[in-house]
């Protein structure tokens, strides 16, 4: 199973990429929360226990669990040149204010982080001013900085491996992220898809240096011909035009239709998968809040290397039925209770990870939605969620499938 294969949202999951939350969460402070896209500070030890329980449930269901941080360490472990290149790129993008501090950071990494795994973990954790024991009496900027000042920000959102890159069929979109804080996350994917023996050579349909923003949470593989992408707070329509062209003109891709779902642009609905995920051949979870305002556009090749766009004028069920070839049922988060829907939506009640048709991983805390999904015949793999949910992402956000069995 070298390379990637993701031609649906529901085919039996065989291989997945996760990131175990690490010390980067310890560098969240009340003042940095908003900028770093968190609403509260998770208790790391418990978040790790919950994440380990998630990974174990996946293994118990026959899924090979790969960790982003280990794949990245594999890439640099025995390759001095790639290691140097990685450090330089990470420093270049770390928003370090002066060449003097860049030099100090490089020296610090070289002298303290010879071990590949320790180095990768450190790049994720960030660097605090307090780690450097140097005379700062000649630098006004350092003297006025508070003790929690970070020289390099942490990357606390890394455990949402869904977003920085996304598998589409046998290829990958390495994304340009919406926020400054998440932009550096794609460095890891870039290196893994360039240099890791299991992933090098995977066709790329989008690159991190593109002009427009797109995130993996907006990308849903409906089947091997149809891809759905959210126009959301995170993903710009221009990026969807670009990726559609790239998919239609690349002979490794079988996608011939992209459906662009125009969802409200807000934090509660940040990605399409925050409000809409497939759970079975003919079932989707959905947040009722998007049903009214949803507009869907169909994008197809025009036969001359460009694209043709058509606004769909039917309801979501009819649109999905048209492209899937059978009727579908939409299962509403909160089971029809609007307050439960909004509360559980905030904790990713619609953001399930399907591990085979009809079997989904869900957060324990969304009990109203979960009871309803259970009564609708779904097989639920329930995971603890007190701390993980503070980052505003659920089981789908916390996982990037690398291999799913094809549907028969
Ligand atoms: N696909 C997703 O909805 N991912 C969740 C990302 C949460 C993260 N705190 C963010 O705001 O980007």
CATH number of 372's domain: 3.75.10.10
Q: What is the dihedral of CA 366, 371, 373, 377, to 10 degrees?
A: 150
Q: What mean pLDDT is reported for the chain?
A: 94
Ligand 1 centroid to 14 CA: how many Å? Answer: 23
- Closest residue by CA, ligand 1 atom 1: 217
Is the beta carbon of 344 within 6 A of some atom in ligand 1? no
- 113 pLDDT band (50/70/90 cuts)? very high
Supply the range of the domain harboring residue 357. Answer: 13-70+156-398
Q: Which residue stretches of 126-197 are H helix?
A: 140-143, 180-183, 186-195
Within a domain: 244: yes
Q: How many other C-beta atoms can be found within 10 angstroms of the C-beta atom of residue 237?
A: 15
Within a domain: 86: no
- 137 pLDDT band (50/70/90 cuts)? low
Within a domain: 85: no
Which atom of ligand 1 sits closest to the CA of residue 215? Answer: 1
pLDDT of 103 strictly over 90: yes
User: From residue 88, how far is each of 82, 148, 154 by CA, in Å?
Assistant: 10, 25, 17
Q: Which of 166, 182, 220 is nearest to 391 (CA)?
A: 182
Is the beta carbon of 348 within 6 A of some atom in ligand 1? no
To test ligand 1's pocket by mutation, which of 270, 346, 396 has the most ligand atoms within 8 angstroms of CB?
A: 270
Query: Percent of the chain beyond pLDDT 70?
Result: 96
Coil, helix or strand at residue 274? helix
Return the pLDDT at 98.
86
209 compared with 313, residue with greater pLDDT: 209
10-45 residues labelled b (16+ CB within 10 A) or e (exposed) = bbbbbbbbbbbbbebbbbbeeebeeebbbeebbebe
Within a domain: 253: yes
Q: How many other C-beta atoms can be found within 10 angstroms of the C-beta atom of residue 263?
A: 26
Ligand 1 centroid to 270 CA: how many Å? Answer: 7
Helices (H) and strands (E) in the chain, counts: 13, 19
Listed range (151-160, 187-196, 290-299, 300-309) with the worst mean pLDDT: 290-299
* Number of structural domains found in the chain: 1
Within a domain: 165: yes
Is the beta carbon of 203 within 6 A of some atom in ligand 1? no
User: From residue 123, how far is each of 62, 140, 229 by CA, in Å?
Assistant: 31, 26, 31
- 144 pLDDT band (50/70/90 cuts)? low
Query: Could you tell me which residues come within 8 angstroms of residue 247 by beta carbon, excluding any fewer than 6 positions away?
Result: 168, 205, 227, 253, 255, 258
pLDDT of 368 strictly over 90: yes
**What's the chain's Rg over C-alpha atoms?**
21
ipTM over 0.95: yes
Within a domain: 285: yes
Which strand (E) or helix (H) includes residue 114?
none
Q: Please confirm, yes or no, whether 354 is among the known catalytic residues.
A: no
Within a domain: 190: yes
Question: Which residues are registered as beta bridge partners of 231?
Answer: 262
Ligand 1 centroid to 393 CA: how many Å? Answer: 5
Within a domain: 403: no
pLDDT one-digit tens code per residue, 287-314:
988 887 679 999 999 999 999 999 998 8
């Amino acid at each position: 199973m070298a390379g990637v294969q993701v031609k649906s949202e529901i085919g039996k999951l065989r291989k997945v990429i996760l990131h175990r939350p690490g010390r980067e969460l310890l560098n969240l402070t009340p003042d940095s929360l908003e900028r770093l896209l968190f609403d509260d500070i998770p208790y790391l030890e418990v978040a790790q226990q919950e994440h380990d329980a998630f990974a174990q449930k996946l293994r118990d269901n026959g899924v090979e669990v790969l960790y982003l941080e280990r794949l990245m360490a594999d890439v640099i472990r025995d390759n001095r040149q790639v290691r140097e290149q990685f450090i330089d790129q990470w420093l270049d993008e770390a928003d370090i204010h002066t060449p003097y501090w860049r030099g100090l950071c490089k020296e610090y990494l070289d002298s303290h982080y010879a071990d590949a795994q320790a180095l990768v973990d450190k790049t994720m954790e960030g660097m605090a001013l307090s780690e450097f024991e140097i005379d700062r009496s000649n630098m006004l900027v350092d003297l006025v900085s508070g003790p929690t000042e970070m020289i390099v920000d942490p990357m606390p959102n890394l455990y949402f491996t869904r977003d920085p890159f996304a598998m589409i069929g046998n290829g990958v979109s390495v994304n340009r992220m919406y926020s400054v804080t998440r932009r550096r996350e794609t460095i890891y994917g870039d290196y893994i898809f360039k240099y890791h023996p299991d992933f090098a050579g995977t066709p790329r349909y989008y690159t991190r240096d593109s002009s427009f923003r797109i995130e993996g949470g907006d990308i849903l593989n409906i089947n091997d011909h149809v891809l759905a992408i959210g126009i959301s707070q995170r993903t710009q329509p221009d990026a969807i035009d670009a990726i559609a062209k790239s998919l239609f003109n690349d002979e490794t891709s079988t996608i011939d239709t992209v459906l662009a779902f125009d969802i409200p642009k807000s934090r509660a609905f940040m990605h399409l998968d925050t409000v809409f995920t497939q759970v079975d051949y003919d079932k989707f979870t959905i947040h009722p809040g998007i049903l009214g305002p949803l507009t869907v556009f169909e994008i197809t090749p025009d036969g001359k290397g460009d694209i043709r766009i058509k606004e769909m004028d039917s309801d979501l069920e009819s649109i999905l039925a048209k492209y899937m070839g059978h009727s579908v049922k939409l299962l509403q988060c909160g089971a029809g209770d609007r307050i439960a829907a909004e509360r559980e939506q905030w904790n990713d009640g619609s953001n399930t990870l399907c591990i085979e048709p009809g079997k989904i991983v869900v957060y324990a805390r969304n009990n109203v939605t979960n009871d309803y999904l259970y009564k609708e015949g779904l097989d639920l793999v329930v995971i603890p969620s007190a701390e993980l949910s503070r980052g505003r992402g659920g089981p789908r956000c916390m996982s990037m499938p690398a291999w799913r069995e094809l549907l028969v």
